[in-house]
Chains A and B, each alone.
Chain A
């Protein structure tokens, strides 16, 4: 039964999903929606599995002092720091904190409040002046002096936006590093093209011509040199390229249908851990 039960579950769920595509029956639709929700929950749960696996692999590396174990330490350290900051500060670019303007050092609080609007200092002074009920003459020192003269209105608070450290890590470390890795491709492509992109035969010559026309026609300099480059590149993309893509996609789709049918009918059982 260890083999039959998964096969039956697979057949029934697969059949149900196929039926949803062709049936307007509300009960079947509702059942299919539940199944889809389950698949998303399983997808979410897979993250825990991934984290478990990450720990297992890297802790093993550290304990055995394998090659590059130091990178595993950095990885786990970064993981914890990011996790803690993410849970603590959320995913927004900023987080809000209230400061009581009448508590503590008036000048320090006032300046802190103005700094919250550092993209627009004048706007910050105006807002703070209105909160503290003093006339705005545009200079921090004079406003502070006026407040000192008239006394500080009680319980005047200002919500100050702080830069989220989690977002800082995300934007200035993760995004930059990921972008760097991706952009390295430009250097490798240039070097590889110089060494390998040669018209050694008629076929490779044809490929080279097409690549040349698309490369020049798909950037604005091509249009500046001769507008015809753009037209030719568009034609290559729309006619021969699309024809090739369509053939590949239809072929892949037919392959997918036959593979799915084999799985549904139990002919393909490698997902059960069998050959």
Chain B
């Protein structure tokens, strides 16, 4: 039973190496697992797709670099869709790091679709406030210009063409908040949807996703992208495979490795119990 004890007390560094290989190999050599679009992703896609050309949509960047590997791909996929539909994007952020992440995404997608800053999208910067996000969103409901006298480039909002016909939250046809905690999507749901009846959708990390399922059922959210899978599904819908799609292969293999270890540890547990005489 020496092998049994060795395997049971496996060095954690071996587990780390296997996880590392499970992530890195599919990233280098994609395996091309199928991506099936779930109902929640399709709902968000359909809602954005139904918006008229030139409609205003709020894209809120409520996440930080720690979770950007998971949340940025889905945000990018949605912005692809918005630009394909020629929507006008108003981008606030309830997290201090959000505006820089927005800059990074728009720097890539703006030129691709020949979209111009100030005309097709605006990055408003960080809006400080309470942890719940309620005061911030409520202030935006009253007036964007009061909350944001200037954009991230220090230009007065009155001098930005996209803001000429956009005064307050209710001028937007939809809100999409991408979040990795509070303040974030929850604040937008409670104010934008519950008080002003503006459709709210969005996405978040896989860890955050479970808390939003009740809101999908109660129709307080019009679609939700959960983790890298949500990003991969949306990339498939917009026909722009990117980091979400390639990351799904890596995540798949990593999950398989973890599941393999869990099964192995439970086999050891059963063998131990059998030796002791009785399963439970």
Contacts and interface: CB of A to CB of B under 8 A. Distances in A.
A175 B135 contact: no
B152 A91 contact: yes
A215 B261 CA distance: 13
Contacts of B64: 178
Given A93-B104, A199-B269, A241-B210, A40 B15 contact: no
Interface string B13-35: 00110111001000000000111
Nearest to B19: A190
Contact of B100 (A167, A212, A216): A167
Interface of A: 21, 29, 32-33, 36-37, 39-40, 43-44, 46-47, 90-93, 167, 170-171, 174-175, 178-179, 181-183, 186-187, 189-191, 193-195, 197-202, 208, 211-212, 215-216, 218-224, 227, 230, 234, 237-238, 241-242, 245-246, 249
Given A181-B66, A222-B252, A224-B34, 9 more contacts: A33-B142, A186-B19, A189-B258, A199-B266, A215-B258, A219-B251, A219-B255, A220-B229, A234-B39
Contact of B248 (A186, A200, A220): A220
Given A40-B129, A93-B104, A216 B255 contact: yes
Interface stretch (B79-87, B158-166, B196-204, B211-219): B211-219
Contacts of A39: 129-130, 135
Contact of A190 (B227, B251, B258): B258
Contacts, number: 169
Interface of B: 10, 12, 15-16, 18-20, 23, 33-36, 38-39, 64-69, 99-100, 103-104, 107, 127-130, 135-136, 138-139, 142-143, 146-147, 152-153, 195, 206, 209-211, 213-214, 217, 226-227, 229, 232, 248-249, 251-259, 261-262, 264-266, 269, 280
A272 B142 CA distance: 31
A85 B130 CA distance: 28
B19 A33 contact: no
Residue among A32, A178, A189 with most chain B CB within 10 A: A178
B211 A216 contact: no
A202 B130 CA distance: 43
Contacts of A190: 15-16, 18-19, 254, 257-258, 261
Residue among A33, A37, A186, A227 with most chain B CB within 10 A: A186
Interface class of chain B by DSSP? helix
B262 A218 contact: no
A230 B10 CA distance: 31
Residue among A90, A199, A221 with most chain B CB within 10 A: A221
Residue among A21, A220, A227 with most chain B CB within 10 A: A220
Given A179-B69, A241-B210, A219 B252 contact: yes
Nearest to A187: B16
B280 A201 contact: yes
Given A90-B153, A191-B15, A175 B65 contact: yes
Contacts of A171: 104
26 contacts: A29-B142, A33-B142, A33-B143, A36-B139, A40-B127, A44-B128, A46-B128, A91-B152, A93-B103, A170-B100, A186-B23, A186-B254, A190-B18, A216-B259, A218-B206, A218-B229, A219-B251, A220-B36, A220-B252, A221-B255, A221-B256, A222-B252, A241-B210, A242-B217, A245-B214, A249-B214
A208 B103 contact: no
Given A43-B128, A219-B252, A224-B33, A92 B262 contact: no
A194 B248 contact: no
A186 B20 CA distance: 9
Given A212-B259, A219-B252, A194 B269 contact: no
A44 B232 CA distance: 36
A223 B36 contact: yes
Nearest to A175: B65
Residue among A198, A202, A234 with most chain B CB within 10 A: A198
A242 B34 contact: no
Contact of B213 (A47, A90, A218, A245): A245
A193 B262 contact: yes
Given A33-B146, A46-B128, A223 B33 contact: yes
Nearest to B180: A182
Contacts of A242: 213-214, 217
